[in-house]
Structure 1
Amino acid sequence: MREIVYLSESKLRQFVPEPRRVPRTGALRVTSPFGGIDMDAPAPDSEQGQLRHLRDVYKHVGLVADWYAAPGLSPGQWVQFEAPLRCVTLSGAHRDLVLFVDSASGRGAGREDDGGSRLIMHGSVRHLRGWTPMSVDGPALEAENSASSLGTAFVTRAGQVVDTLSRLRDPLATEATPPRTAVRLHGRGVQELLEALDDEDGGIDMSAMMTGYARITGVLPSTPVSPRCVVASPLVVEYAVVDSPQAPE
């Protein structure tokens, strides 16, 4: 059995099966005095149909996905991940944005395959499956302009990133429109967001080993003071199967 934490039904609907060229086996043709009438068989149970569709999508994505720490990734690519992740939301206006962020405190333990990369994923709380995310304050999204006599506030770099990720959440808000241009993420803003989320990690490791598939939103290269960071939007997040330690003989 698999325990799914997050499943994007919107992304599932983007995958359309190849059209069949053979007659539908579920159709029944009834002859009447008024001519032939095609009557479709009852539709399969919606949940079972979704599970079958998910299995098909899994097979397809598994064939095309790269490892999330692989070099040369670009936006739009599918990646597979396995990492200790925390699931959080930001308090305030962006509380419908859910973030999966890897644990900085857990780096080095079971992280031989991360290639020094960090992972942060963004989505909608509506796609969570039986999981209550932790609400955190996060970074300052606005700051007061002290040079202005009016005391106006401006959006911080981290605030710009959070606003962009909120507009890209899946599904979009009813008043939002899909972006028509390439997504631009402020590199320093992403780092400030990660640093603020790391600071909220209050000493007790709340991360769980999770695995799944995601589509790349952007990749921030490493700097002398920060590792490479992969920003992505998940299709599915589930608990990873962790081998139990062997009892001493």
Structure 2
Amino acid sequence: MREFIYLSDAKLRQFIPHPRRLRRPGALRLTTPVGGIDLDAPTDDAGSARGRQLDQVVGHLAESARWFGEPDLRPGEWVWFEAPLLYVTLRRANRDLVLFTDPIPGADPQYPSADCRLLMHGSARHLLGMTPVSVEGPALTATDEGSSACTTFVTDAGEVVRTLTGAGHPAPPGARGVRDLLAALDAAQPDIPTAAWTQGYARVTAALPATATAPRCLVASPLTVEYAL
């Protein structure tokens, strides 16, 4: 049996099977005075149909998705991952935003995260019975004390959080803001329970190149997060 932590019904609905030209096995044909009518066999309940669709989608992605650590990924591509992940919400942000992050490089000797960090974002509504840890996170706004009006503005990390919740501009999140967000999540990791090994599929939101001080980072939105076997 598979045990899911997160399953996005919204992403699952994006996959529509090709129309079938032939009758499905088990379909019935009703003969009437004016001709024949094909009737579908009785369907299972919604839960069974959802499970079948998930199996079909996962089977499709198993053949087409790329490994999240590959260097030339683009937004919109599907990736698969296997990594220990922590999942949190931010106290000063929309509580519907849930973030998944891998451990600080070197924190888990069994996880070689030095080449590419993984940061995923989704809706807490899609968590399956799990309660994420609430952390302080980065400053989302700041005050320009150099101006006479002490203007408040949204920080780079705040812009990223707005983008990930759908409240900002429909553009890839800024690299500086992503780095600030990831640094704040890393700083909170000592207060978060041990990461669980997980696997799943996600759609790429942004792929940040390495810098002189930080490895590459993949930002993605998951379809599934489940405990790794």
TM-score for both structures, normalised by structure 1 = 0.84
- Aligned equivalent of 1:237, options 209, 225, 229: 225
Q: For residue 149 of structure 1, what is the amino acid of its counterpart?
A: S
The equivalent of 1:172 in structure 2 is none
Matches within 5 A, 1:71-150: 71-104=71-104, 107-112=107-112, 114=113, 116-150=115-149
**What SS does the aligned partner of 1:62 have?**
helix
Unaligned runs of 5+ in 1: 168-175, 242-249
Q: For residue 90 of structure 2, what is the amino acid of its counterpart?
A: L
Aligned length, in residue pairs: 229
Q: For residue 207 of structure 1, what is the amino acid of its counterpart?
A: A
> Does the Cα contact within 8 Å between 2:163 and 2:169 map onto a contact in 1?
no
Task: Work out whether 1:53 is the aligned partner of 2:50.
Answer: no
Further displaced range: 90-99 or 195-204: 195-204
> Does the Cα contact within 8 Å between 2:162 and 2:168 map onto a contact in 1?
no
Q: Deviations over 1:115-165 (max 9, x none)?
A: 611000000011111111011110000001112222221000000111101
Q: For residue 150 of structure 1, what is the amino acid of its counterpart?
A: A
- Aligned equivalent of 1:196, options 154, 177, 184: 184
Moved over 3 A (4+): 24-41, 105-108, 176-179
Q: For residue 96 of structure 2, what is the amino acid of its counterpart?
A: D
Shift of 1:29: 3.8
Shift of 1:46: 1.2
1:177–1:207 distance in 2 versus 1, CA, 3 Å: closer
Q: Deviations over 1:23-81 (max 9, x none)?
A: 24454344456875655443211111111111111111011111111121111111111
The equivalent of 1:163 in structure 2 is 162
1:40–1:63 distance in 2 versus 1, CA, 3 Å: closer
Shift of 1:110: 1.4
Distance in 2, Cα, partners of 1:87 & 1:52: 27
**What SS does the aligned partner of 1:202 have?**
helix
Percent identity over the alignment is 53
TM-score for both structures, normalised by structure 2 = 0.91
Distance in 2, Cα, partners of 1:43 & 1:186: 46
Shift of 1:238: 0.5
Shift of 1:189: 0.8
Task: Work out whether 1:209 is the aligned partner of 2:208.
Answer: no
- Aligned-residue CA RMSD in angstroms? 2.2
Q: For residue 92 of structure 2, what is the amino acid of its counterpart?
A: G
Q: For residue 82 of structure 2, what is the amino acid of its counterpart?
A: E
- Aligned equivalent of 1:225, options 196, 207, 213: 213
